[in-house]
């Protein structure tokens, strides 16, 4: 496994792979790999000759009061996990390598960002779209793998790829969970022991909402009222709970077709997100 820090070198490696007729699977990450990332690498490994994992904590997607400096990092551990799963190359650029000067332009996302996480994080998905666009242009993979856990991010990327006619397949992989249902996340390490025991409430609430919908309840307002009351049993603070069409992320008062139930919840030192896709 190679670790490459520059755009020029990684492009040289990709050119070699293309010349040899090899397909490229790509897993973009911000590092501190966990089982969710590992599942993406495994999916890429099954389908492609070359697997590339990027590790880059992207400053463009962090707001002024967010946890960029606190975001967990452990490159040695990441290297070991990636190597064990058969990764061929880690692209590990610095901030100055990705953004050598102030960006003269960024992508401005206009659809699906005034809801869910986007409502309280203005500009966040502009930063996400900009870095993913850069990474896709650098790597130019046949297929890129993303976790369903970051469902709004995934929807934005799917819409971006379609809007700009980028020749890449975007594949969504299922959320990887702990035995008690809590979604795997790098931020789970910030939970206290008591909060960790309580945190499965989020997934339990989402599955309860999905059961309501499948049982015939279609009124968005009623569903949200019931789910909000359940989440008030927790010790943290609710950021949002919502149900929207997916992947358009449009609001509809009567649930129909493919929908996403999504939640964000604040504990003392961690903001957790989760979601559940349901089809009517």
Tens of pLDDT, residues 216-233:
999 999 999 999 999 999
Mean pLDDT of the chain: 94
Looking at residue 27, its pLDDT comes to 98
CA dihedral 31, 36, 38, 44 (to 10 degrees): -100
User: Minimum mean pLDDT among 30-44, 57-71, 230-244: which range?
Assistant: 57-71
Looking at residue 102, its pLDDT comes to 85
Confirm whether pTM is higher than 0.85: yes
Distant-in-sequence contacts of 156-161, Cβ < 8 A, 24+ apart: 156/109, 156/112, 156/113, 156/125, 156/128, 156/129, 157/128, 157/129, 157/132, 158/247, 159/109, 159/111, 159/112, 159/247, 160/107, 160/109, 160/129, 160/132, 160/133, 161/136
Any binding-site annotation on 266? no
**Rounded Cα–Cα distance for residues 44 and 172 (Å):** 11
Separation of CA 247 from chain center = 14
**Rounded Cα–Cα distance for residues 40 and 176 (Å):** 10
**Rounded Cα–Cα distance for residues 63 and 121 (Å):** 7
Confidence class for position 204, pLDDT limits 50, 70, 90? very high
User: In the structure, how many helices (H) and strands (E) does the chain have?
Assistant: 10, 9
Any binding-site annotation on 86? no
Confidence class for position 267, pLDDT limits 50, 70, 90? very high
**Rounded Cα–Cα distance for residues 122 and 133 (Å):** 19
The helix (run of H) or strand (run of E) holding residue 73 is: none
**Rounded Cα–Cα distance for residues 40 and 26 (Å):** 9
Any binding-site annotation on 181? no
**Rounded Cα–Cα distance for residues 32 and 155 (Å):** 23
Looking at residue 138, its pLDDT comes to 98
State yes or no: pLDDT of 151 exceeds 80: yes
State yes or no: pLDDT of 83 exceeds 80: yes
**Rounded Cα–Cα distance for residues 223 and 227 (Å):** 6
CA dihedral 250, 255, 256, 261 (to 10 degrees): 70
DSSP label of 254:
B
Nearest to 28 by CA among 50, 4, 51, 61: 51
Any binding-site annotation on 133? no
Helix-strand-coil split of the chain, %, nearest 5 = 40, 20, 40
Share above pLDDT 70 across residues of the chain, in percent, rounded to a whole number:
100
Confidence class for position 4, pLDDT limits 50, 70, 90? very high
Any binding-site annotation on 234? no
State yes or no: pLDDT of 86 exceeds 80: yes
**Rounded Cα–Cα distance for residues 260 and 151 (Å):** 8
Separation of CA 253 from chain center = 27
Confidence class for position 110, pLDDT limits 50, 70, 90? very high
Looking at residue 120, its pLDDT comes to 83
**Rounded Cα–Cα distance for residues 256 and 37 (Å):** 31
Who wins on pLDDT, 27 or 111?
27
Any binding-site annotation on 48? no
State yes or no: pLDDT of 153 exceeds 90: yes
What domains, with CATH codes, occur in the chain?
2-173 (3.40.50.620), 186-279 (3.30.1300.10)
Q: Do 183 and 149 contact (CB within 8 A), yes or no? A: yes
Q: Which residues are catalytic?
A: 37
């Amino acid at each position: 496994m190679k670790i490459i820090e520059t755009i020029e070198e990684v492009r040289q490696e990709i050119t070699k792979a293309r010349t040899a007729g090899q397909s490229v699977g790509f897993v973009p990450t911000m590092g501190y790999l966990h089982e969710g990332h590992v599942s993406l690498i495994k999916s890429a490994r099954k389908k492609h000759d070359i697997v590339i994992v990027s590790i880059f904590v992207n400053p463009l997607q962090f707001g002024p009061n967010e946890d960029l400096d606190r975001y967990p990092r452990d490159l040695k551990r990441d290297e070991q996990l990636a190597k064990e799963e058969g990764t061929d190359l880690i692209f590990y650029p610095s901030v100055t390598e990705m953004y050598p000067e102030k960006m003269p332009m960024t992508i401005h996302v206009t659809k699906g960002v005034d809801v869910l996480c986007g409502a309280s994080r203005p500009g966040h998905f502009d930063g996400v779209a900009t870095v993913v666009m850069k990474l896709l242009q650098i790597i130019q993979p046949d297929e890129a793998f993303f976790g369903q856990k970051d469902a709004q991010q995934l929807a934005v990327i799917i819409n971006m790829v379609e809007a700009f006619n980028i020749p890449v397949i975007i594949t969504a992989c299922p959320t990887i969970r702990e035995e008690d249902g809590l979604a795997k996340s790098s931020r789970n390490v910030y939970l206290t022991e008591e909060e960790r025991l309580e945190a499965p409430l989020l997934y339990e609430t989402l599955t309860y909402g999905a059961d309501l919908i499948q049982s015939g309840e279609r009124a968005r307002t009623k569903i949200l009222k019931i789910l909000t009351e359940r989440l008030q049993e927790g010790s943290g603070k609710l950021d949002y709970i919502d149900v929207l069409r997916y992947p358009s992320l449009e609001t509809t008062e009567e649930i129909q077709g493919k929908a996403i139930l999504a939640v964000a919840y604040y504990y003392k030192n961690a903001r957790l997100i989760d979601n559940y896709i349901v089809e009517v």
